Structure 1
Amino acid sequence: MKAKLGVSALVVLFLAGLWLVAAPFAVGYQTRGAAYVDATINDLWLGGSIAALSFAALVVYAADTLRELARRGKHADA
């Protein structure tokens, strides 16, 4: 149960990070072709960081899960 909650939280954080990256352009407070305003730069850095960290955590969790499954599989044959 705890693992499902943790993975769900990481997925929500990843999607929130992606939204922060896309928001300046989707909402329209960053006009096309203009120099980036401070809010856009902040959204890009913060959103990119959140998305990258949560994606890395998801990859680590998936790798750990696969390692555990492989370990259980080796013991099942013996």
Structure 2
Amino acid sequence: MKAKLGVFALVLLFLGGLWLVAAPFAVGYQPRGATYVDATINDLWLGGAIAGLSFVALVVYAADTLRELAHRGKHADA
């Protein structure tokens, strides 16, 4: 149960980070063709960092789960 909650939280963080990256353009506070304002730069860096870290954490969790399943399968034959 705790693992499912953790994965759900990581997915929400990943989606939140993606939203932060897309928000300046989707909401429209970044004028098209203009130099990036400070809020846009902040959203891009913070959103990218959040999305990147949560994606890496999800990949590490998936790799650990696959490693555990392979370990269980290897010992099931014995």
The interval holding the TM-score normalised by the smaller chain is over 0.9
TM-score, scaled to structure 1: 1.00
Show the counterpart of 1:9.
9
Amino acid at match of 1:34: A
Aligned length, in residue pairs: 78
Show the counterpart of 2:45.
45
Q: Which stretches of structure 1, 4 residues or longer, exceed 2 Å deviation after superposition?
A: none
Amino acid at match of 1:14: F
Show the counterpart of 1:19.
19
CA distance in 2, matches of 1:56, 1:74: 27
CA distance in 1, matches of 2:23, 2:71: 43
Structure 2 unpaired stretches of 5+: none
CA distance in 1, matches of 2:31, 2:4: 40
TM-score, scaled to structure 2: 1.00
Structure 1 unpaired stretches of 5+: none
CA distance in 2, matches of 1:74, 1:36: 54
CA RMSD of aligned residues (A): 0.2
